[in-house]
């Protein structure tokens, strides 16, 4: 299967010349050459194999061999279905099959802030993107990112001027429609000026049983003293493949909070790479992954402390049932002279079924001496003792297990500082646990 | 902050003096011609009068090695090794005539070991000084083994690997390569092709080895690789504690040391393996020193068996070493206690693998990495819970200490669990020697060097106390010496 000539790579390479002119910004020379270089890298690299160290625990061979269609050229987008997630009444963009659904979107923001699609941004203000697009994403070294860079289309661009604070959460919905066997490569850009503040909630959802490949890549430029809360819920169709990459650059005193709740997809990976470029930065990366059946979820994070005085905090928790597998890879890099860095990471996974599996690789790479860095990782089943304690009080086993799972996940949920999101995500976690209890 | 800028100079001035084992013994020796080929493999095998099967075994390993690539995943950086520019066999000439007892050993050699603080005379034990049987390996051959008779009385076989091939071929054939197959990795394959000597220990059923067994490895000749092979077998209910020490002369060239150690523990057996590795680390600018590329692995084959690795790694320019345990037998236990100290330009990439296959298997990892000067120190480890490792447990603690702002400390643990009832716990920290601790010591009139040594010894205590007493004293001193000059 893997070697058949019409594998995913071959189809993308063949489609590129025909697609190039239809991609946004086709008339921009710099973007064309960026896409062409990225395609050349993809031709060399292909999607990573498990022997690539960073992809040791996530196998993309089925995706490589799949008969997914390359992104279509037409500009028509399917209509957004009703009942898509809504957290408040803030600005909102809806993408269906990777294309903006303008009718379902309401992008209006107060003065000093803009929310638009990548295509619109490239048409209106290409200069703003020229120096930055693709700068944070190491597409030269990795096939998934090279592919996205060559084919990137739509996605959202959020730009907030210095000093502007947007209180209401901005909502982005990516919906995978019933049109099966499609792939899309969205590219998002968030740019916060000095002192700007915003909250972004991304929902990645899909029609039940739709089989598609969603490949969103986000570049975040957080200016000095800016604050970004970036929340994501990944509840794709159970047959979807979801490979997300977030690359962020934090300037002095920037504050970034990220939370990823992973529920859906057959296979998913959330990779976050943060470069700390200024002093006194705060970076919080948290997440929960709940998987059952044969689902596979990979959470990979890298926080690169290039200068000192930064603080990083990370909590990832996973619950895995049936034959599901979960991966956590978290690396802290502290460069020479990045003194007074304080970084802490916790990753914990609970296996609910004998066939579930978890892999963890927490890494420290430290080149400065005056630092405090630590990580802790645990993998195991639910504790027997509290289970016994609850049973002794007349609580049945299923209820007791559900309670303990909820308690296990609680402190990760509590890390979400935006209240409506904390409640909504908390509710989704409870739903998952309830389904678990009823299913067992 | 903690360390002033003149650290580097301090280190430089001290580095030369501190390696007291850097002398060279001028002794007649026979060498194989330079380079590596099937002929050299045959030469070594013939020199040792080996049976045909072992020669074939070596040749298979050699042919496999030719097709392998040198691993590059470790966080170590060194110029490419020219494998044709090495001598693969070197032995003191006197060995050719074969000393029958200690009295016949070349006095030059005895003096060498005396100088290293390892007297090979058996008298001392009477005075109660030491109760350790020693196998002394000089370049490619074992030159002497003490207390053989006493051990034989108990049924313990201890001596050079070559003797074991001659006298106990059935044991060697049964176990050689059964834990570390010749094709395991690049350096193990190389070792399997050209290994020259090493130690062999066999503890029969139910025997508690009456004394500690020890091998002392010495690289002496220039441009020589040392490829020793150690095999220790503890039968049902047996116990043995084994110590290993190593030194080499100071030279401007890099010398390769690629050893393989295999341990087999059957039901209820226990093997305690301790290493104080003090190969020449090179000078302050990273010139010279030993490349220590070692494969060490123990198989807990039997129920309730136990293998414990304790290592104090202070020497070598580059260390690439992952003593591991395969926990096959139900209820078996694996332990890894490690202190790795790197100073100046040293690089160490070391850790362990605990492969849990049986039920109720338990493992414990305590790793203390100390990095100073411009050194890079990496802990790399794997804990794997197999699908059948019901109720298996692991606990891992990796602590790193940084002394100076130009060194690095890295932690790369891999944790894989395929059994829900298994429990893996891993924690790691990185910090520096605190100003407060240093100040507190200084205030009490302890000078900075001693204070540092005291603090570092405290940091290492959990590992040091796992060492047999004599070794612990030695190791404690070594910890202090290795860090000399790293505070300004």
The ipTM of this complex is 0.87
Per-residue pLDDT at B100:
53
The whole-angstrom separation of Cα B194 and Cα B44 is 7
> How far apart (Å, rounded) are the C-alpha atoms in residues B345 and B283?
8
CA-CA distance, B275 to B311, in Å (whole number)?
A: 5
For residue B51, with 0-12 CB atoms within 10 Å meaning exposed, 13-18 middle and 19 or more buried, which class applies? middle
Q: Chain B residue with minimal CA distance to A367?
A: B408
How near does any CA of chain B get to the CA of A385, in Å?
A: 14
Residues in chain B predicted with pLDDT less than 50, given as ranges, are 1-17, 95-98, 123-130, 488
SS3 of residue A159 by DSSP: strand
Rounded Cα–Cα distance for residues A329 and A55 (Å): 10
Q: What is the DSSP string of A264-299?
A: --SEEEEEEEEEE-SSS-EEEEEEEEEE-TT-EEEE
At B487 the pLDDT is 60
pTM listed for this prediction: 0.89
User: In sequence order, what DSSP letters do the residues of B161-230 get, joined into one string?
Assistant: HHHHHHH-HHHHHHHTTSSS-TTSSHHHHHHHHH----EEEEE-TT-B-SSEEEEEEE--STTB-B--EE
Q: Which residue has the tokens 């501190």?
A: B18
* Residue for token pair 């120096």: A131
Put simply, the answer to whether A356 touches B427 (Cβ < 8 Å) is no
Per-residue pLDDT of chain A (440 residues; tens, 9 = 90+): 344 446 889 999 999 998 999 899 999 999 999 999 999 999 999 999 988 999 999 999 989 888 887 776 665 567 778 888 899 899 999 999 999 999 999 989 999 999 999 999 999 989 889 999 999 999 999 999 999 999 999 899 999 999 999 999 999 999 998 666 788 999 999 999 999 999 999 999 999 888 999 999 999 999 999 999 999 999 999 999 999 999 999 999 999 999 999 999 999 999 999 999 999 999 999 999 999 999 999 999 999 999 999 999 999 999 999 999 999 999 999 999 899 999 999 999 999 999 999 999 999 999 998 899 999 999 999 988 999 999 999 999 999 999 999 999 999 999 999 999 999 999 999 999 999 888 76
Number of H helices, E strands in chain B: 11, 24
Query: Which candidate, B215, B224, B226, places its Cα nearest to that of B294?
Result: B226
Strand partners, B161: none
Kindly determine whether residue A374 and residue B430, on different chains, have CB atoms separated by under 8 Å.
yes
Residue B224 pLDDT: 77
Residues A399, A436 contacting (CB under 8 angstroms): no
CB within 8 Å of A33: residues ≥ 6 apart: none
Find out whether A248 and A276 touch, Cβ atoms under 8 Å: no
Beta bridge pairs of residue B403: B372
Go through A290-329 and write b for each residue having 16 or more CB atoms within 10 A of its CB, e for each that does not. Answer: bbbeebbbbbbbbbbbbbbbbbbbbbbbbbbbbbbbbbbb
The Cα A151–Cα A42 span in angstroms is: 11
**3-state DSSP call for residue A61?**
helix
Distances (CA, A) of A340 to A281, A307, A334, A368, B431: 12, 9, 10, 9, 10
Contact status of B411 with chain A (Cβ, < 8 Å): yes
Search chain B and give the residue with CA nearest A325: B418
| Yes or no, beta carbons of B428 and A375 under 8 Å apart | yes
* A356: nearest Cα among A311, A431, A291, A425: A291
Q: Does the distance separating the beta carbons of B409 and A364 come in below 8 Å?
A: yes
**pLDDT of B282:** 85
Give me the residue from B410, B417, B432 closest to A357, CB to CB: B417
Residue closest to B315 by CA, chosen among B349, B344, B277, B350: B277
Residue B140 has what pLDDT? 65
- What span, in angstroms and rounded, lies between the C-alpha atoms of B152 and A333? 55
Please report where in the chains the tokens 């973007």 appear, as a residue.
A31
Counting runs of H as helices and runs of E as strands, what totals does chain A give? 9, 21
Q: What Rg do the C-alpha atoms of chain A give, in angstroms?
A: 21
The pLDDT value given to residue B4 = 41
Tokens of B240: 């043995």
Q: Answer for the pair B438, B407: CB distance below 8 angstroms, yes or no.
A: no
Cβ–Cβ below 8 Å for B430 and A354? no
Backbone angles phi, psi at B256, to 5 degrees: -95, 130
Contact list in A for residue B405 (CB cut-off 8 A) is 336-337, 339, 368-370
Token output for B291: 């490349």
Which residues, listed in sequence order, are joined to residue B298 by a DSSP beta bridge?
Answer: B263, B325
Phi then psi for residue A58, to 5 deg, are -125, 120
| CB hemisphere CA count around B335 (13 angstroms) | 17
Does B414 lie at the interface with A, CB-CB under 8 angstroms?
yes
CB-defined contacts A:B, below 8 A: 124
The pair phi, psi for residue B143, each rounded to 5°, is -100, -25
Q: Is B435 on the interface with A (CB under 8 A)?
A: no
Q: Is A219 exposed, middle or buried (0-12, 13-18, 19+ CB in 10 A)?
A: buried
In B404-487, which ranges are E strands?
A: 408-417, 423-432
Task: Measure CB to CB from residue A370 to each of B1, B387, B411 and give the nearest one.
Answer: B1
* Coil vs helix vs strand at A390: helix
B3 and A369 within 8 Å at the Cβ level: the answer is yes
Closest alpha carbon to A373 in A346, A348, A337: A346
């Amino acid at each position: 299967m893997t070697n058949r000539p019409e594998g995913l790579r071959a189809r993308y390479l063949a489609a590129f010349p025909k697609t190039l002119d239809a991609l946004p910004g086709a008339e921009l020379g710099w973007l064309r050459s960026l896409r062409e270089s990225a395609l050349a890298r993809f031709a060399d690299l292909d999607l990573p194999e498990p022997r690539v160290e960073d992809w040791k625990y996530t196998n993309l061979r089925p995706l490589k061999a799949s008969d997914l269609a390359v992104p279509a050229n037409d500009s028509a987008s399917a209509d957004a279905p009703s009942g898509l997630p809504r957290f408040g009444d803030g600005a909102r963009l809806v993408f269906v099959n990777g294309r903006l659904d303008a009718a379902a979107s309401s992008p209006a923001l107060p003065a000093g802030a803009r929310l638009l699609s990548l295509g619109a941004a490239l048409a209106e203000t290409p200069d703003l993107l020229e120096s930055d697009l693709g700068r944070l994403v190491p597409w030269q070294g990795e096939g998934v990112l090279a592919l996205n860079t060559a084919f990137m289309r739509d996605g959202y661009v959020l730009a907030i001027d210095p000093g502007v604070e947007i209180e209401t959460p901005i909502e982005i919905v990516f919906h995978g429609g019933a049109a099966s066997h499609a792939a899309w490569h969205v590219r998002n850009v968030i740019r916060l000026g000095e002192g700007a503040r915003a909250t972004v909630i991304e929902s990645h959802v899909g029609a039940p049983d739709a089989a598609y490949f969603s490949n969103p890549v986000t570049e975040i430029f957080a200016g000095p003293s800016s604050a970004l809360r970036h929340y994501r819920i990944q509840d794709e169709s159970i047959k979807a493949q979801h490979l997300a990459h977030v690359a962020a650059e934090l300037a002095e005193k920037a504050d970034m909070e990220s939370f990823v709740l992973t529920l859906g997809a057959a296979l998913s990976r959330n990779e976050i790479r943060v470069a700390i470029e200024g002093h006194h930065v705060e970076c919080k990366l948290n997440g929960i992954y709940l998987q059952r059946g044969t689902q596979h979820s990979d959470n990979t994070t890298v926080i690169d402390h290039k200068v000192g005085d930064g603080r990083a905090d990370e909590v990832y928790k996973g619950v895995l049932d049936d034959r599901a597998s979960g991966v956590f890879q978290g690396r802290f890099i502290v460069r020479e002279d990045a003194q007074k860095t304080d970084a802490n990471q916790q990753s914990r996974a609970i296996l609910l079924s004998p066939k579930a599996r978890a892999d963890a690789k927490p890494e420290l790479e430290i080149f400065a001496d005056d630092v405090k860095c630590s990580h802790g990782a645990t993998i195991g089943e639910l504790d027997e003792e509290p289970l016994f304690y609850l049973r002794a009080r007349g609580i049945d086993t299923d209820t007791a297990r559900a309670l303990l799972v909820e308690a296990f996940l609680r402190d990760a949920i509590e890390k979400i500082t935006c209240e409506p999101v904390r409640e909504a995500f908390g509710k989704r976690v409870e739903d998952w646990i309830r389904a678990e209890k009823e299913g067992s | 902050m903690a360390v002033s800028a003149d650290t580097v100079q301090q280190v430089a001035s001290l580095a030369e003096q501190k390696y007291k084992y850097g002398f060279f013994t001028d002794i007649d020796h026979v060498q194989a011609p330079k380079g590596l080929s099937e002929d050299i493999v045959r030469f070594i095998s013939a020199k040792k009068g080996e049976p045909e099967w072992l020669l074939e075994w070596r040749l298979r390993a050699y042919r496999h090695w030719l097709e392998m690539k040198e691993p590059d995943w470790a966080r170590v950086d060194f110029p490419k090794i020219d494998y044709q520019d090495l001598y693969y066999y070197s032995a003191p000439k006197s060995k050719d005539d074969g000393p029958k007892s200690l009295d016949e050993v070349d006095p030059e050699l005895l003096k060498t070991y005396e100088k290293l603080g390892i007297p090979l005379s058996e008298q001392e034990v009477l005075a109660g000084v030491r109760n350790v049987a020693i196998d002394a390996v000089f370049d490619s051959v074992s030159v002497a083994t003490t207390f053989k008779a006493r051990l034989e009385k108990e049924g313990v076989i201890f001596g050079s690997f070559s003797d074991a091939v001659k006298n106990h071929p059935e044991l060697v054939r049964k176990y050689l390569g059964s834990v570390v197959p010749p094709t395991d990795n690049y350096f193990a394959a190389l070792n399997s092709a050209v290994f020259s000597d090493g130690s062999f220990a066999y503890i029969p059923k139910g025997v508690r080895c009456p004394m500690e067994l020890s091998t002392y490895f010495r690289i002496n000749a220039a441009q020589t690789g040392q490829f020793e092979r150690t095999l220790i077998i503890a039968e049902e209910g047996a116990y043995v504690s084994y110590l290993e020490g190593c030194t080499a002369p100071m030279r401007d060239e890099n010398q390769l040391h690629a050893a393989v150690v295999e341990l087999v523990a059957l039901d209820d057996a226990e093997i305690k393996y301790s290493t104080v590795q003090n190969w020449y680390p090179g000078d302050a600018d990273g010139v010279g020193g030993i490349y220590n590329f070692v494969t060490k692995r123990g198989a807990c084959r039997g129920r309730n068996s136990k293998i414990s690795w304790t290592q104090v790694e202070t020497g070598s320019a580059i260390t690439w070493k992952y003593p591991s345990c395969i926990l096959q037998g139900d209820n078996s236990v694996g332990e890894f206690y490690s202190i790795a100290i790197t100073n100046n330009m040293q690089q160490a990439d070391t850790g362990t693998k605990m492969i849990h296959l049986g039920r109720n298997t338990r493992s414990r990892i305590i790793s203390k990495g100390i990095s100073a000067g411009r050194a890079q120190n990496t802990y790399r480890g794997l804990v794997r819970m197999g699908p059948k490792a019901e109720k298996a447990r692991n606990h891992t603690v990796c602590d790193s200490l940084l002394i100076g702002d130009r060194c690095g400390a890295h932690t790369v643990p891999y944790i894989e669990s395929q059994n829900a009832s298994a429990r893996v716990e891993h924690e790691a920290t990185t910090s520096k020697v605190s100003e407060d601790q240093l100040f507190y010591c200084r205030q009490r009139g302890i000078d900075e060097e001693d204070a540092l040594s005291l603090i570092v010894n405290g940091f290492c205590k959990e590992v040091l106390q796992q060492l047999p007493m004599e070794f612990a004293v030695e190791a404690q001193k070594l910890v202090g010496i290795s860090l000399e000059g790293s505070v300004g």
